Structure 1
Amino acid sequence: MNTMTSTGSPAPADSDSASAEPGRGRGLRLGGMNWLVWRQHRAAYWTLVAAAAVTVVFIVYERHQMMTYLDGYGWPHLKSGWEDRLNHRTLDMAGLVIGYMPILIGVFVGAPLLAGDLESGTAKLVNSQSASRVRWLATKLGVTALVVVVSTTAVSVAFGWWWSPIKTSSYIFSWIEGPAFDNTGPVPAALTLLSVVGGVAIGMLLRRTLMSMVVTFGFAVAVQVAWSQARMSLGDVLTVTSDQGVGENSAPAVPEGAHIVDQSYLTSSGDLIGWGSCAEATEKATAACLDKAQVVGWGIEYIPISQMPSMQWLGASLLLALTACIAAFVILRGRKRLV
């Protein structure tokens, strides 16, 4: 932390001349507060970057394996039966592990970011330095957010690239489910930033690293649960109907890859009633119930896969807005009371 102050010693003449020439001897090196924050948390940052790099390399290899298999079935126009011998366990497991990424990064990167300095007393040195506390906090949050966004975006793009050849098939997982929706597009970065910045705020309030990590774990899990419940509400539910009766092959067609929200009976008056309304014990009783309700066909409510990008960006915007509010709280509180 004492690197934040100047020693006051006169710099050598050759050093002055070198610094006067743009770019000489510096390259892309960080300087000042950015260098200090990176130096202090370099172990966590490099671990995050390395984990993302290894994950991307693994995904590239697995996608090559999958495409070799799909090419044998005529991809992109796949022949029937391609699902039978596809080994999708690796994709399932990868989707599950990557889904835990926001929780793990929030616990091991976000929670200790300030809690460690407050617990060890390092934060007290900020008051004796020339740099303001606001600048110190903003730099910590900014550098950490940059590393998190770069790492999670790389994994998100790679995973989406891996899954995209079979995204319209629900054989592995539907696009509306967590392994697909939460691991592609802007959602992973937004979820992770919320967990990380939330962990920073928790660490600032609790001032104990271990306790902050435990509470941040609970916070990150709660965010995941709430997000999984709110995900469906981001889409615009469409309805398609048919009036060809309720026998076999009478249901209306929906776009490929669409997520079916609900299926109902359509009456002659145009109303939709639940298909369970005529779930009688015998076929004869069921037919009588359908006749009495004047059922003429089916109504299907669905969300097309074409809405996936807009739903992801809308959800990510809401998550980032909440993250910005928490970050503002951290900076405002840190400006008034840090130690």
Structure 2
Amino acid sequence: MIRMSLRQFRIQALAGAILLVLAAIYLLKLGADIRAAREPSQLPSQYGQTMLFLAAGFGLIPALIGAFWGAPLIARELETGTHRLVWNQSVSRRRWLAVKLAVLALASIAGSGTLSALLTWAAAPVDQVAGDRFNALLFGARVVAPIGYAVFGFTFGAVTGLLVRRTLPAMAMVFLAVIAVQFVVPNLLRPHYMPAERTTVSMSADAINQARSLGSITGGPVVGGLQIPDAWVTDTSALLTPEGRQLSDAAFDECLDNAPKTGASGRFGDTAVCLGKLNLHVELTYQPNRRFWPFQWIELALYLGFSSLLAVVGLWRVQRRVS
């Protein structure tokens, strides 16, 4: 069974190996160039966009593994009927599926682990200077978490192919679903892996000018993009008065639209000065950067747990319902 699974997987394995070698050559060269830079403090501005581009591309790998390795694995055999040939031999259905899942899961681990190690090494000097380890894109392209994504993408693809029994529909469904999961987890689950810490920040004119945005689509008195050194800010309250009440929309709009002209500089200029005079503050919820490794292991365990549940569903399904 193992030999047969490897033989059936040889084309996908060859394509993956070629892409892996090309990616490894590029990352090794990138890492060498980064380490040859004369001004380490300029690395984030020089290579920041490259890191984000690579992380975004890295985020597609689990979806591609799921769509091109996982989805066709069972669906193609069910479409062509070749599964009956194996089942008429001495191999049980569950063993047939378990071996297929194990062989390609190990291939997914090897490929994603190698790429993750190379990218983590290449980007290490940039990450050290930037200190933005919890960036949603960058976090998912470093150390051990990508291994969990790859195993999940493959297992989800294989089980979806088993259930759908059509290769092309399964590939499309898996690709979109894995991307959706990778959007949901960082935004809804990751901030709560460990109890968050809280702090209060006074909103002086200088502090407001350090924010990235003021207001919202609905016009609420909110500020966005505030940062804490060596931490990931997961939630920011609305602008609060000294009494702890939310600043009224009328007072916020007055500063936003009709701030007295002072000639102030900064991102928000006169608006920041107007709001700064109101003695406002915000409450921030954050995760310290020292929790990066615990979060990596938690996320790896989460995705491996999802994958195990999917594998159990597949083994149950292939034994009872598939003919």
Scaled by the length of structure 1, the TM-score of the pair is: 0.74
- Whether 1:232 aligns to 2:191 is yes
1:148 Cα deviation after fit: 0.3
Q: 1:260 to 1:131 in 2, by over 3 A?
A: closer
Q: Is the 8 A contact 1:111 1:200 kept in 2?
A: yes
Corresponding residue to 1:62 among 15, 25, 30? 30
Determine which of 98, 106, 109 is the counterpart of 2:69. Answer: 109
Deviation of 1:328 after TM superposition, in Å, equals: 0.5
2:298 counterpart residue number: 314
Indicate the residue corresponding to 1:39 in structure 2.
Answer: 7
Residue of structure 1 in register with 2:200 after alignment: 241
Distance 1:175 1:336 in 2: 45
Match for 1:38: what amino acid? Answer: L
Deviation at 1:283, TM superposition (A): 5.4
CA contact (8 A) 2:43 2:129 kept: no
CA distance in 1: counterparts of 2:227 and 2:85, whole angstroms: 67
CA distance in 1, matches of 2:129, 2:248: 25
SS of corresponding position for 1:164: helix
Aligned mates of 1:263, 1:59 — CA distance in 2:
40
Give the structure 2 partner of residue 134 of structure 1: 94
Alpha-carbon spacing, 1:205–1:44, altered in 2? closer, same or farther (3 Å): same
- Residue 213, structure 1, aligned to residue 197, structure 2: no
SS in 2 for 1:197: helix
Letter in 1 for 2:4: L
Shift in Å at residue 63 of structure 1? 1.0
How many aligned positions are there?
A: 293
Deviations 1:118-155 (A, max 9, x none): 11111001221112221111100001100001110111
Percent identity, aligned pairs only, is 23
Deviation at 1:314, TM superposition (A): 1.7
Closer, same or farther: CA 83–40 of 1 in aligned 2, 3 Å: closer
Distance in 1 separating the partners of 2:168 and 2:179: 17
Alpha-carbon shift at residue 240 of structure 1 (Å): 2.8
Q: CA offsets per residue over residues 37-96 of structure 1, 9 Å max, x none? A: 111112212322332233222111101101111xx12x4xx3xx5655x24443332222
Which structure: larger Rg? 1
- Single out whichever of 147-156 and 274-283 deviates more from structure 2: 274-283
Among candidates 75, 94, 115, match of residue 155 of structure 1: 115
Q: After TM superposition, give the deviation of residue 102 of structure 1 in Å.
A: 0.7
Distance 1:163 1:87, change over 3 A: closer
Which structure has the highest helix share of the two?
2
SS at match of 2:113: helix
- Tell me if structure 2 keeps the 8 A contact 1:176–1:259: no
The residue matched to 1:48 in structure 2 has which SS? Answer: helix
Letter in structure 1 aligned against 2:229 = P
CA distance in 1 between partners of 2:122 and 2:231 (Å): 17
CA drift of 1:246 comes to: 2.8
For 1:253 and 1:49, locate their aligned partners in 2 and report how far apart those are by CA, in whole Å.
41
Amino acid across the alignment from 2:175: F
Partner of 1:10: none
Deviation at 1:175, TM superposition (A): 3.1
The alignment partner of 1:100 has SS state of helix
Give the partner amino acid of 1:320.
L
Q: Is the 8 A contact 1:168 1:256 kept in 2?
A: no
CA distance in 2, matches of 1:38, 1:138: 14
Give the stretch that moved more between structures: 176-185 or 251-260: 251-260
Find 1:182's aligned residue among 99, 116, 140.
Answer: 140
* Structure 1 vs Structure 2 CA RMSD: 3.4
* Deviation (angstroms), 1:228: 3.7
Q: Distance in 1 between matches of 2:295 and 2:245?
A: 26
Q: AA paired with 1:148?
A: S
- Aligned ranges 1:1-339 → 2 under 5 Å: 33-69=1-37, 72-73=38-39, 75=40, 78=41, 83=44, 86-167=46-127, 174-230=132-188, 231-241=190-200, 246=204, 248=206, 254-256=228-230, 258-259=232-233, 261-262=235-236, 271=244, 273=246, 279=252, 280=255, 281-282=258-259, 295=279, 299-339=283-323
96-105 vs 220-229, which deviates more?
Answer: 220-229
Taking the aligned partners of 2:199 and 2:82, their CA distance within structure 1 comes to 62
